[in-house]
Structure formats: C-alpha cells, structure tokens
Structure 1
Amino acid sequence: MFERILVPTDGSGPANAALEYAGEIAAEEQVTVHVLHVVDPDEEDDADELLAESREWAGGTDATVIDEKRTGEPRKAILEYAANNGIDAIVMGTRGRRGVGRLLLGSVTESVVRDATVPVLVVRGASEVKRRYPFETILVPTDGSVHAEVALERALAIARHDDATVHVLSVVDVTPAAIDDRNDLRLERLENYARDVVDDAIAAAEKSSVDTVSTVQYGSIDKQIRTYADEIDADLIVMGTHGRSGLDRLLLGSATERVLRTAKTPVLTVRASTDDRAAD
C-alpha cells in the first residue's frame, strides 16, 4: 500500500498516537517510518530527546524507523522532506474537539492536507478512536467530482490490498437550500444526482472486483459522515481535496475540518493531481 511513511512529531499525545498507528501499519507491511521533528530556530532545541522518545513509540511495533531533524517553518519542512525522500504517505495526529496540536494541527495540518501531493492520514489521539489495521471496512463520501473519484480510486486500491469492503456515501445536504418539504422539486433533483453519483461509484468498484455498498443519507454532511462511519464500524474514511483552490465542494471547509477533528475513525485525504483537476 505504502512504502515510506512520514510522521511529523512534536512530542504531543496526538503525535504519539499517529506514530504508534504508523508503526503498526509499517510493521504489518514491512515498510519504513520516517519520524520528522521540525525545530523552530527561535526556540530551545530538544529534538534529540523528542526523537528518541518518538523512535520508541514507532519502533515498539517492530517497524523500521528513520528519525530526522529539520530547522524552519513546519509546513514547508514537512512537504520538502516528503518530496525529497520518496515519501508516499504522511500520518499526522490531531487533538480533536478542543483544538489542535501546537505543531501538527490548525493551520499546519490544514496546509499539509491541502498542499501535499501524497495522501495524508489524519488520526485523533482520543481513546475513543478506532485505529485498526489491516482495514476491513472503508468509507468514501462522494459528490461525483474528480476529487471524489480520485479518493475512490485510492480506497479501491487499499480495499484490494486488504480484501476490504468499500462503502460509498452521498449526502443530500438540504440545509443550504432551506429545503424542509420532502415534496420539494429541488430535493428530488438533489436525490437523483446523489443516486447517480453512488451508482457510478459502484460501477467503478465492480470493475475492480471490490465488494461495495452504496447509500444516500440526508442532513449535515459532516454529521452524516461520522454517523454512518460509526454505524458500519469503519476502519478508514477516504476523502478527496482540491488542493490550493480549496476543499472538495461536497466536503468543503468547516465540514472537512470537523470530520478530521471529531471522527472516531482515521481519515485519509487524497489530493487530485493538476491533470485530474484540468479534466474535471
């Protein structure tokens, strides 16, 4: 699935949860974990001690660990390290409902999720979060955009590797349109589009010989994603992003942020390439 996994760390609980999870994946797949600590040039450098502790968290799973230190702005350093070292996935921890880790969340994680050319796996450090591997049940929310299609392709590849089931979810969000009547013609159009989207996704999955389930839900996008993920006991949520132009229109802005911060399931974000976006 992945060959080189990068875990940026600041020594916080969420970062350690990400390290442990990445270590479990790496040990199962026999791949390498790169642990990166970015040092602020204006702060005291405690990187050596922090990296030693981080090595223990990831190495406790028998994964191969490489630890590195860089000085500079975290976002830039993380992306440059990933590009220069053949990294094919970044794993980052989140603090959850009350905010973000001082290095790994907030603007840094949002910018890494937005700008990374490789998938970013975001996992909360809370005890309620299910961090299981190999994956058995994968959820892909979709709106039919090229970004959602790229996320589906990644999910199908993971499912083939792990022999997992993929659930395709389309959410009819009636709130922005102030639709409160089930007979409203606008709702019918939204429903028809949502069903077409999941049907197209199922057709793509069948070509990949992956077991799939489709559903259309109604309500707030982020709440329905979290609720459905809990209902099916999902091991992973896979979501597409737009990159610099913003987050996927289905999963836009605050909705994606809320999923990342509150989901009880790790979330893998996948960015569409420039060529993919041009074809949309």
Structure 2
Amino acid sequence: MYESILAPTDGSPTADRAADHALALADAFDASVEVLGVVDLDEAAGPFDAGGIDEEYRDRLETEAQRSVDSAAERAGEQTVETAVVEGEPAETILDRAADHDLVAMGTHGRSAVDRVLTGSTSAQVVRESPVPVVTVRENGGGSATDDAAAAGSEPALDYDDVLVPTDGSEAAEAAVDHGLAVADAFDATVHAVHVVDVGAVAGGAGVTAGAGGAGAAGPVGGDLLEPMIENGEEATERVAQRAREAGVDAVTEVGEGSPGSMLVDYADDAGIDFVAMGTHGHSGLDRVLLGSTTERLIRNVSVPVLSVRPEGDGE
C-alpha cells in the first residue's frame, strides 16, 4: 500500500518520534523514506524586516535544518533514506512534496524557534489538505500509558499489536478501513472496529437533553431513537471485522454511546491501542462519528500515531 513515505522534521523530539514511526512503517511495507527539512525564511525574517535576513543567518538556518535531517536519517540504521532541505512555507512545502509520496508521517508540534517546521497549525493544515494519508505523532506529556512509558525512559511501541479503526459506515470511514487493515496485516495486529453513537447529537436532534447521566449516558433519549443508531453501528463495525477476518487479520468490535471524541480517546487508552486509522470526516447526520473535531481530538489526545484519511475528492 505504501511505496514512499515523507517524514518532515525540524530535529525536535516529536519529529524524531514521528521519524521512528515512519521508518517502522517503511520497514513493514518495504517503502522508501524521504526526510524533509523546511527553512522558513519569511518566518525567520519576521513581519518588520522588509529587507529579509542576511546570508550568514540564512546559512545558519540551512545548516541547522540539514543537521536535523541528517540526525533523523541516522535513526534509519541500514534502511535507505533520502534527505532534502528546501526553503519555503512549511505547510505548503510539505503538501507539495506529499503529492510524490503515498504517506506523510509528522509530529504535531516541534521547535518554537524561527526555523520550526512542526507547529500545530502546520500539521493541522497538512491533515486537512494532504493529497495522501497523514500519520501524526504528538508530543509526550498527555498522561496516557504510552506517555508514562516514555517518561520512564522507554519508547512507545513501534511494533503495533492493536489498531483502532473507528467507523460510522461512511465513505470516509471505509477509505480509512483499507489503511487500518493494511497496517494491521503488516504488523500482525488485531483490528478494533469501534462505533460511537453520538448521544449529544441524537438528543439535540430530538429536542431533548442527554439527561443527568451526562454525555455518556442515554438519559431521556428514548430507545426508539437509540436502537436504530446502535444497530447501524453494529452493522458498520461487523463489516470492518468481516473484511479483517477475510484478510486473515484478527478483529474485535465495540459499539458505545456518548461523545465520540472522548470515548475513542478512552478506548484507545483502555485497550492499549498502538495505532489509529480514521477518516477526517464522516456522516453529517445524527449517527456521525468521524467529524473533523473528533479526528482532531484524537490527534491532540492520544500519544500513539493517528493515520488520517481525507474523503476522496474532499477540498478539490
């Protein structure tokens, strides 16, 4: 599925983690890797420096970017890695390069210096607009099990055993399923097909509230409303599980009721998920799961890689 992977870097610890995941995926799929450094001269010059930056400063920025790229490439060991350092606006440059690859793997945040590449806004724009799927890896410090492991001096697992594939049965979800199954197959992992009925949306559509039980409880939302949503979720998750089993991949299913973003984050932590594959958008109806906000919530709050797949034709 992947023959070429792009790994933008600025030499930050988050970028290094993303590069490690890019290399693990490349090894599993026998793919090539390009490590990319971007020097943002406009950002370096600042809004009040109409004359730009002098050559000495430019050279220093390019040298630092090259050092970051070389450091990431050294993590490849015997794997073949191409490197490049270019000037430009980071998000636009990454998006342009992405068209020549099958996958992008990048951190969500990086350095705060003027030569930074991996700012939150950069990764968000790449996820929204990339012509190919994007794997994002966030910084440590969220308090999850993988963060605790990193704090104790051990790196999060690069050999994925459990892959989470949220689904609502939409076309965007189906596109992400292909990637989730491919990763699970390559790593001999178990697929977790999960659907969350958005009780808040159901309640809003019915003109009632979620009740004292909170967003995670049905409360006054009647069974007549929830039952078809749950049945749709069971059908959607079973379709994913069936596809997994036909491909020789183990699969489990789960259907829950509550806030999709919160429940998926909790599920990822509780089930020991190592990798997430999901669409960036899904249904716009009451049973929606894969909304942009849900994807963004997982990207921000789970410390395992999140592979985001845009709907085909989205934004074109």
Match of 2:63 among 48, 61, 75: 48
Aligned to 2:198: 173
Q: 2: distance between equivalents of 1:27 and 1:143?
A: 31
Within 5 Å, give how 1:54-133 maps onto structure 2: 54-62=69-77, 63-83=79-99, 86-95=100-109, 103-126=117-140, 128-129=146-147, 131-133=156-158
1:28 positional shift: 5.7
Q: Structure 1 pair 198/23, CA: closer, same or farther in 2 (3 Å)?
A: closer
Q: Which runs of 5+ in 1 are unaligned?
A: none
2:199 match: secondary structure? coil
Aligned to 2:254: 215
1:3 positional shift: 2.8
The superposition leaves residues 76-122 of structure 1 with CA deviations (integer Å, 9 ceiling, x where unpaired) of 21121122xx31111111249xxxx9532433212211221222111
Q: 2: distance between equivalents of 1:160 and 1:232?
A: 19
Q: TM-score, normalised by structure 2?
A: 0.75
**Range with greater deviation from structure 2 (211-220 or 27-36):** 27-36
The superposition leaves residues 5-28 of structure 1 with CA deviations (integer Å, 9 ceiling, x where unpaired) of 211123333222212332344456
Aligned to 2:15: 15
**Is the contact made by 2:168 and 2:236 (CA closer than 8 Å) also made in structure 1?**
yes
Q: 1: distance between equivalents of 2:76 and 2:36?
A: 18
1:38 match: secondary structure? strand
**Range with greater deviation from structure 2 (249-258 or 161-170):** 249-258
**Range with greater deviation from structure 2 (170-179 or 258-267):** 170-179
Aligned to 1:251: 290
1:68 positional shift: 1.1
**Is the contact made by 1:23 and 1:59 (CA closer than 8 Å) also made in structure 2?**
no
Q: 1: distance between equivalents of 2:133 and 2:4?
A: 12
Match of 2:167 among 125, 128, 142: 142
Q: 2: distance between equivalents of 1:143 and 1:3?
A: 29
Q: 2: distance between equivalents of 1:107 and 1:53?
A: 20
Identity between Structure 1 and Structure 2 (%): 40
CA RMSD of aligned residues (A): 2.8
**Is the contact made by 1:24 and 1:133 (CA closer than 8 Å) also made in structure 2?**
yes
1:139 match: secondary structure? strand
Match of 1:231 among 270, 277, 280: 270
**Runs of 4+ off more than 4 Å:** 27-30
Between structure 1 and structure 2, the one with the greater Rg is 2
Equivalent pairs counted in the alignment come to 267
1:66 positional shift: 1.9
Q: TM-score, normalised by structure 1?
A: 0.84
